[in-house]
């Protein structure tokens, strides 16, 4: 899944959730001072910022296939080692990181088994591999779950994100077990985001980011307006808070 989009637009869309998620995810993965850590699929740096705060910029590496995100992350954290790469082919030697993390990335990998195996390869024996993915299965607890629910009401044939790798309970655990990872611990991570107006929620959905944004951007003006109206009827009256929950798996190499 390509994310060649303006970093600022991503930040207004998903960054609102992934910035606070990064804090709880780094904590769940046990990131602490002195460790050398890798952020796989860093985007514009939501998790990266928390990692830099924990271990210092010299101890953080990051990769992402999106050139605009690599550029944004390197500008945001001067001196950081950030490279253009995919999880499935990490440009690092074996056994070099203490902790390797992927926040909201596994479901976008072309080959999630290979991506997780690569994360394990670059992590030292006894080190930690961690991943989290929004709960986009039947519980519908992701940030864009409400949008997809309304889309399906209006367009039952729409292809949502509920079939992607890792979005359902225990799928991350199975991916980790298949990669030979040990002592796998699973948990749920929840964040809360405030919206001052309906349009603050709606507008980022029109930026064409990720599967939901691409779907919305491809609608005719009439159908997009019908979707907007229905979402406005379903959401609480502004201002409102929304919660989003991600599956998280943390394991030892
Ligand atoms: C939802 S964003 C998450 C970005 C960031 N980790 C965050 O939490 O905001 C998904 C990211 O995965 C990246 N991505 C897509 N396919 C990938 C792959 N095969 N390997 C690594 N990253 C990938 C995208 O470029 C994008 O930056």
In the chain, which residue ranges form alpha helices assigned H by DSSP? 7-10, 16-28, 46-55, 67-76, 112-121, 145-154, 171-178, 198-202, 210-217, 221-234
User: Measured between alpha carbons, how far is 59 from 49 in angstroms, rounded to an integer?
Assistant: 12
Q: Tell me the best of 4, 9, 43, 45 to mutate to test the pocket of ligand 1, counting ligand atoms within 8 Å of each CB and taking the most.
A: 43
The sheet with strand 37-40 has its strands ordered as 81-84, 60-64, 37-40, 97-103, 123-134, 240-252, 182-195
Neighbours of 225 (CB within 10 A): 11
Query: Does any ligand 1 atom lie closer than 6 A to the CB of residue 90?
Result: no
For residue 203, tell me if it sits in a domain: no
For residue 223, tell me if it sits in a domain: no
CATH number at residue 100: 3.40.50.150
Give distance in angstroms: CA of 87 to centre of ligand 1. 9
For residue 155, tell me if it sits in a domain: no
For residue 151, tell me if it sits in a domain: no
- pLDDT at position 2, please? 75
For the chain, the straight-line distance linking the first and the last C-alpha, in angstroms and rounded, comes to: 27
Which residues lie closer than 8 Å to 20 by C-beta, 6 or more apart?
191, 192, 193
Q: Is the pLDDT of residue 197 over 80?
A: yes
For residue 65, tell me if it sits in a domain: yes
Q: What is the mean pLDDT of the chain?
A: 96
Q: What is the CA radius of gyration of the chain?
A: 18
Give distance in angstroms: CA of 46 to centre of ligand 1. 11
Where residue 79 falls (left for φ over 0; alpha for ψ -120 to 50; beta otherwise) is: left
Domain count, the chain: 1
0.95 exceeded by pTM: yes
Query: Does any ligand 1 atom lie closer than 6 A to the CB of residue 18?
Result: yes
Residue with the nearest Cα to atom 23 of ligand 1? 41
Q: What is the mean predicted confidence (pLDDT) over 142-156?
A: 96
For residue 148, tell me if it sits in a domain: no
Give distance in angstroms: CA of 1 to centre of ligand 1. 8
Give distance in angstroms: CA of 11 to centre of ligand 1. 13
**pLDDT-based confidence at 3, cuts 50/70/90?**
confident
Q: For the segment 13-31, what is each residue's pLDDT rounded down to a tens digit?
A: 999 999 999 999 999 999 9
For residue 207, tell me if it sits in a domain: no
What range does the domain containing 14 cover?
Answer: 7-143+161-193+243-252
Q: What is the DSSP string of 81-98?
A: EEEE--GGG-SS-TT-EE
Give distance in angstroms: CA of 231 to centre of ligand 1. 27
Query: Does any ligand 1 atom lie closer than 6 A to the CB of residue 88?
Result: yes
**pLDDT-based confidence at 5, cuts 50/70/90?**
confident
For residue 123, tell me if it sits in a domain: yes
Q: Is the pLDDT of residue 182 over 90?
A: yes
């Amino acid at each position: 899944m390509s994310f060649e989009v303006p970093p600022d637009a991503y930040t207004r869309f998903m960054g609102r959730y992934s910035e606070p998620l990064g804090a709880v995810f780094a904590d769940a993965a046990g990131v602490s001072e002195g460790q050398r850590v890798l952020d796989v699929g860093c985007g514009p740096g939501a998790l990266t910022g928390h990692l830099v705060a924990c271990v210092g910029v010299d101890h953080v590496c990051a990769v992402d296939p999106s050139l605009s995100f690599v550029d944004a992350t390197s500008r945001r954290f001067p001196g950081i080692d950030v490279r253009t790469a995919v999880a499935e082919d990490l440009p690092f030697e074996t056994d070099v990181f203490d902790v390797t993390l992927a926040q909201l990335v596994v479901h976008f990998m072309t080959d999630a088994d290979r991506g997780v195996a690569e994360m394990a390869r670059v992590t030292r024996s006894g080190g930690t591999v961690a991943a989290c993915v929004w709960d986009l299965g039947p519980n519908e607890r992701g940030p864009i779950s409400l949008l997809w629910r309304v889309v399906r009401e209006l367009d039952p044939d729409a292809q949502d994100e509920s079939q992607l790798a890792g979005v359902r309970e225990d799928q991350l655990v199975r991916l980790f077990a298949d990669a030979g990872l040990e002592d796998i611990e699973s948990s749920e991570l929840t964040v809360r985001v405030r919206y001052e107006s309906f349009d603050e929620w709606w507008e980022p959905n029109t930026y064409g980011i990720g599967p939901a944004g691409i779907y919305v951007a491809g609608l005719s003006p009439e159908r997009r307006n019908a979707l907007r109206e229905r979402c406005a009827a379903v959401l609480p009256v502004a201002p409102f808070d929304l919660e989003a929950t991600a599956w998280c798996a943390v394991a030892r190499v």
